Structure 1
């Protein structure tokens, strides 16, 4: 998502500056180019050599370095990036930004830029809570500056409270959200994924073979198109999508509850392989094996999440997409399912063992809607996700 994006990283003076090294590494992993700028105080915590080595770029330090001015003037430097990130954002630098001061390279770049700015504050809890800092925060927010954090936590000074800089991966997520582009920008989409685990006793459960790979890929493709994604997943093996709001659940009932609490969305994609049944009275203790005896399990039907949402009145998402994993009469069964559930689309696939689709890296699906059925060729699950995300964008945006 950050491939070839240019980020100007301003590192101010604070103990949290050490996190900037990990931040550079994480941004570079995602394909971003990072140009570091250090304040004089920052050099007391991290060295120009360390940030330059990790970023692969020159570390800028001095406003009045004539060589730098000849190669890259501060005006050009401030405007050549796609995003300026200030991490850590100290109380001093925030005050300079709010007052429009420009007495060093960092503050001059921030005043001269027309590029979006994201600040990750880091300071003592008393400094963060001080009326002056809160006044500066309100002014900068009104000026269009974006913020991530701070978090509550233990501080180097021994105090506890708000003021601790967020972790590097939280900044990466915020960067991705700020830089989100594409037709789905401003749209909110819910995606369910993975299997559910329905307990029999504390050590056994009922599940299925879903890896969650297709759901994760769909969520990532929607984020890539600029959507805000709420990702509700069962205990899946697949990596979670970066940049999504993650909600982890175990059972079908937990998944339904999570979905209902997050239904102010433009679309809902129900990719999860939800167990149809659960044990009516799961045991609180492990069921012991007894000679000559087999346990008798009484089952209850799980909530039908797709039907529940599809048949809502007020609050129903404008677009509801379900999935149908079938082994026989795939199109006929999936078409009947779409009508029975009341969803707008069904994505049907054949999960017979011979296909290798369940738990595999590829998928072959048919998109079924009011317009009929449209068979897609077999392709990687990432490609299926991108094609489905593009179709969702086309429907929502036009």
Structure 2
């Protein structure tokens, strides 16, 4: 897939810059040409000589190098690649990109390019969660910039949380997806997956048996057709698909916030098994037995309806909104009613009663319901269901 592709790799100044050496090696193994660009800060973490040796190319460093400008101006350099990859993408460089700054070679190339851009953020957890960084990330997504990561993990500063640069194999997969010539190239799609965990107290929660396998398969299939996928996942039993932008959440309210932050999008697929209810006042400390055998009385509150919220948007509604309906009886009737009630375009309905083995299993048997009617698919692997659904979505967005 990468054979003959030219990738302009911009390395910003973060401790994760050392990973770019392995990234270059893996990209070249797949036949890609890698042209490195380093910021001044990046040179504090990785040497241009190392980058050049692995890439087999000259490393570009200075905007005002007249020889380089004579040989290949920054405009041509930025447009001669099939993809621009920023790894690591620091908070500072993301801010420059969002603001349209051009005060060094890296930011000038990014402002001058009309080539697709993929960024792999890497920064301290507090920097990633700062409102300014969140605004910048949202602006970049709106501009069509693809994201891969960041992941949760240990930081060089000793903290733990989101902000760690995605591992190299995942970045390679994201590059392959970005360069895929599929029918969804250039489309942005949000996919929710997995269960939600609604806390009762710090150690107990309400959940369901969803494994997240079907949602992950859908996200993987969409990315395989070239889509930029934002994968919003609850605490699932399966790993997130490579080549997608992963956002991890716990509760329904967090999932809604993540989905809203990921918009605008061309389509949204709500495969997550979101809890309808949560404990209204979760205990701040572990609830104890009283010794008298009395069970605690839990008061419940209704969770936000993520599918209905997005389907009902007056502005910024995705062109295609797809919901899932996990039913145990009257599958078609209940799914049709849900589509009308939620205001979504399609419903993917399935029978999750215990006898089917679908909940948590490797196969699924679904019915696709739209305004045109109902279509029953045979029992298939969840990956095959995902591929069929992804193809239908591509046709609808064409």
TM-score (norm 2): 0.70
Q: RMSD in angstroms over aligned alpha carbons?
A: 4.3
Distance 1:121 1:11, change over 3 A: closer
Q: Which has the larger radius of gyration?
A: 1
1:176-216 CA-to-partner distances (Å, cap 9, x unmatched) read: 35414222222221111110001010000000011111111
Which residue is equivalent to 1:297? 298
Is 2:358 the partner of 1:388? no
Using the alignment, how far apart are the partners of 2:329 and 2:229 within structure 1?
33
Is 2:245 the partner of 1:253? no
Which residue is equivalent to 1:118? 84
Which residue is equivalent to 1:339? 340
1:295-350 CA-to-partner distances (Å, cap 9, x unmatched) read: 12122222222122223333322211111111112112111211222211110011
Is 2:175 the partner of 1:175? yes
Aligned length: 339
Using the alignment, how far apart are the partners of 1:139 and 1:203 within structure 2?
49
Using the alignment, how far apart are the partners of 2:369 and 2:349 within structure 1?
7
Contact 2:277 2:302 in 1 (8 A): yes
Which residue is equivalent to 1:203? 203
User: Which residue of 44, 54, 69 maps to 1:99?
Assistant: 69
Is 2:27 the partner of 1:32? no
Which blocks of at least 5 consecutive residues in structure 2 are unaligned?
Answer: 37-45, 89-95, 125-164
1:86-117 CA-to-partner distances (Å, cap 9, x unmatched) read: 8xx55159958951538xxxx9xx97x95525
DSSP-derived class of the 2:205 partner:
strand
Distance 1:392 1:132, change over 3 A: closer
Using the alignment, how far apart are the partners of 1:135 and 1:240 within structure 2?
34
Using the alignment, how far apart are the partners of 2:242 and 2:231 within structure 1?
10
Contact 2:7 2:83 in 1 (8 A): no
Which blocks of at least 5 consecutive residues in structure 1 are unaligned?
Answer: 52-58, 62-85, 123-128, 154-165
Which residue is equivalent to 1:276? 276
Contact 1:148 1:171 in 2 (8 A): no
Once superposed, which parts of structure 1, at least 4 consecutive aligned residues long, lie more than 3 Å away?
Answer: 3-21, 24-28, 31-38, 41-48, 92-98, 117-122, 143-153
What's the offset of the Cα at 1:355? 1.4
Distance 1:45 1:341, change over 3 A: closer
Is 2:359 the partner of 1:358? yes
Contact 1:191 1:232 in 2 (8 A): yes
Which residue is equivalent to 1:71? none
What's the offset of the Cα at 1:236? 0.9
Using the alignment, how far apart are the partners of 1:47 and 1:135 within structure 2?
17
Which residue is equivalent to 1:214? 214
Using the alignment, how far apart are the partners of 2:34 and 2:186 within structure 1?
30
Contact 1:23 1:168 in 2 (8 A): no
Distance 1:228 1:95, change over 3 A: farther
DSSP-derived class of the 2:349 partner:
strand
Using the alignment, how far apart are the partners of 2:52 and 2:282 within structure 1?
58
DSSP-derived class of the 1:223 partner:
helix
Contact 1:187 1:228 in 2 (8 A): yes
Which residue is equivalent to 1:310? 311
Which residue is equivalent to 1:326? 327
Using the alignment, how far apart are the partners of 2:175 and 2:67 within structure 1?
20
Using the alignment, how far apart are the partners of 2:18 and 2:360 within structure 1?
40
Using the alignment, how far apart are the partners of 2:328 and 2:183 within structure 1?
35
Using the alignment, how far apart are the partners of 1:176 and 1:94 within structure 2?
33
Using the alignment, how far apart are the partners of 1:347 and 1:90 within structure 2?
50
Using the alignment, how far apart are the partners of 1:378 and 1:219 within structure 2?
20
Contact 1:94 1:137 in 2 (8 A): no
